[in-house]
Amino acid sequence: MSSVRDYFETLDYGPAPEAADAAQAWLARHGGRFGHWIDGAFTEPGRHAFETVDPATGATLATVVQGSEADVDRAVAAAAAALPGWQALGGPGRARHLYALARQVQKHARLLAVLETLDNGKPIRETRDLDVPLVARHFYHHAGWAQLLETEFPDQEGVGVCGQIVPWNFPLLMLAWKVAPALAAGCTVVLKPAEFTPLTALAFAELAHQAGLPKGVLNVVTGDGRTGAVLVAHPGVAKIAFTGSTEVGRVIRERTAGSGKALTLELGGKSPFIVFDDADLDGAVEGVVDAIWFNQGQVCCAGSRLLVHEPIAEAFVRKLRARMETLRVGPPLDKAIDVGTLVAPVQLERVRRLVALGIEEGATCHQPSWDVPGGGLYFPPTLFTDVEPAMTIAREEIFGPVLVAMTFRTPDEAVEIANHTPYGLAASVWTDSVATALDVAPALQAGVVWVNASNLFDAAAGFGGYKESGFGREGGREGMAAYLVDRVERALPAYADAELAPPAGPSELGDEPSTGGGLDRTPKLYVGGKQVRPDGGTSYPVRGADGRHLGEAGWGNRKDVRDAVEAARKATSWAKASGHARAQVLYYLAENLDGDTVRFVDRLRDLTGADEAAARREVDTAVRRLFTCAAWADKWDGAVKGVPVRGVVLGMHEPWGVAAVSCPDEAPLLAFVSLVAPLLAVGNRVVATPSPRSPLAALDLVHVVEASDVPAGALNVITGDRDALAATLADHEEVAVHWYVGSAAGSAEVERRSAGNLKATWVNHGRRRDWYDPQQAEGRAFLRRAVQVKSVWVPYGA
């Protein structure tokens, strides 16, 4: 007979199955056949159905309906009909419903946990102890936001009907991440769960109805990607929130371009797990278990790239391989197992194919000595060593229990390897040195960084990616903002066609005499701190409001844009400068502009035909706007999030990097300053195209910039055709965010082209701002879009 000591040595446990009776009874009550949940009731199951299967046994759990265009129409119509009443409840009224939903989740926690495990294949310990409690937490947290909405988000309102598409790896938790903030904001929802795992979404909708949620506020339409495509394209949907693969996210960005739909994308990852030589190695090994073998590695932020400090690499791999031997793979309903099944045969085949490719490319594959059980979609925990960064398994998201290990010698090398990926969702840093952790975390291009931890989540902490891992956040204040829109933006009028007329095309210098009193007509751009001639060697005439020829401006082309982006990319000193230092430069710029008021007044009168008072008002307002942005430079500073674990989350505001700005024609000085200054204030480097018809105001400002200690490359100015240059900027892989103000067609083109590297965009869809109105042209709306939020989880307290 084994002793307790033997059990601790072998970690041998007998089976501890969780009964599935509650879930089976719920399935039986519905006859194992489900329609959609629309307008507070299930629809008839219908003819076009497919099976959802238990991946551990292959048994059919239920059949669900393949959603059609008509089904989506009906669901969107129900959501639209429910929207006015839901909004009319106000934040406190909606908060009561969200509290009720949280309590309903807690009351039926066992049903939801078991149903999730049956449908998905993840261990019952994970659904019971993580997923379901976090679902309740999200509804409680967002009930609080609903209560505080009118004071914490003044002048904002819910975006409207939201289409939400969730994946199969966290079916119920992803539902909560999306549905809770949407309902709190006053939106109504049409949710499409993954075709592999629709059951908990349908169960939740039924429970929500029992909790008194008004009909039509939450609708669930089941189906595969075809149903999702219909939802994305539906004209009645005001926002799409998608979690899934980068490839599908790119398609959604293209298909929503120009529609006016708000969009958040939480996409793939290839997250680094960095272990320094001073780390607690045993603790770090357990961190690896949580990072890559949690949910069978089917986690978008899984720590799938292990980067180990060279002096400890051999010892760490030895410990890790020993720990792999003790992992338990088996039936997901067994409370004593660590790793369950993959979700579907197609996913198992993908993992097998990529593992075989890793071996073929020369990496060394390590797996436990034991075999996985038969009869289910099991795959053993796998470790690759001798991995080169260029190997497929080091670059592609495998989405399975597969870890690739590499070594590094210095912290800088660790950061370089970690960032050598198009993804940027999450990272883990393991070290006993606080200085090392807080030095490395800001350098990692990832939306979430865990210090001496992995896969921690909470409703108070924003979650989302950098680069091709998507944009937008879920959780925290920033997650709420994603479901709100400024009321003033909705009321903006459309441009008149004449206001968007393009400039005259390129011409030869000297084709007309200038009446500008000896103005310098040499066509120059401003790139890398220097005035340079355009690559094409051409210019175009700039005319005043009365038709007079005022001078020439350079006609920028693709090469000029590439040079400007490269100059901006290299200007890292601006991003690294303190907020105080950036503020001083912007204050100096404002003072120098103010000291040159007379020249700018004369220029604006010639360009726009304004009288002296109006031109002076534009200059004075531009000066004040620079002062305002300077004031914000050291105050737009993120937050410390209180989370219910041992630690805190630092919600850090970080600049995007290289930002593109496409400016309108009206108020050519003020609009340019209003768009460029907030981006500069928070540390972005900017490539700006000023008003195409009145570029001389911005070119004059360049001379002030040169005299104001703005570092070379922090601001670059390319003149020419707005939409042609905007298209090139939107295509550029090194541009991280693009603000565009122009036509509706130009806005659509910027959004469509941004899908290449999934850059964030802020476009005006052909609507005109009043650049003199602070509510429309400055403040938090601009600052919020000028940064991305990084959540750094730091151990703290006893």
Instruction: Give the residue numbers annotated as catalytic, written as ranges.
Output: 266, 300
Cβ pair 675, 698 in contact under 8 A: no
Cβ pair 129, 137 in contact under 8 A: no
Any idea what DSSP says for residue 129?
Answer: I
Handedness of CA 738, 742, 748, 752 (dihedral sign): negative
Read off φ and ψ for residue 650, nearest 5 degrees: -90, 110
Cα 735 from Cα 623, distance rounded (Å): 28
* CA atoms within a 13 Å half-sphere pointing along the CA-CB vector of 50: 11
> Which residues pair with residue 139 across a beta bridge?
none
Cα 2 from Cα 606, distance rounded (Å): 94
Label residues 751-790 b or e (16+ Cβ within 10 Å = b): bbbbbbbbbbbbbbbbbbbebeeeebbbebbbbbbbbbbb
Cβ pair 795, 452 in contact under 8 A: yes
Question: Scanning the structure block, which residue is given the tokens 């597969």?
Answer: 402
Cα 395 from Cα 534, distance rounded (Å): 38
Q: What angle do CA 774, 778, 779 make, to 5 degrees?
A: 105
Torsion, Cα 504 508 514 517, to 10 degrees, reads 120
Q: Token digits for 417?
A: 């390897």
Cα 148 from Cα 797, distance rounded (Å): 28
DSSP state string for 39-64? TTEEPP--SSEEEEE-TTT--EEEEE
Question: Scanning the structure block, which residue is given the tokens 């909004």?
Answer: 87
Cβ pair 23, 111 in contact under 8 A: yes
Burial of 80 (0-12, 13-18, 19+ CB in 10 A): middle
Label residues 190-216 b or e (16+ Cβ within 10 Å = b): bbbbbbbbbbbbbbbbbbbbebebbeb
Nearest to 771 by CA among 630, 593, 621, 662: 621
Read off φ and ψ for residue 599, nearest 5 degrees: -65, -40
Torsion, Cα 295 208 145 81, to 10 degrees, reads 120
Cβ pair 385, 363 in contact under 8 A: yes
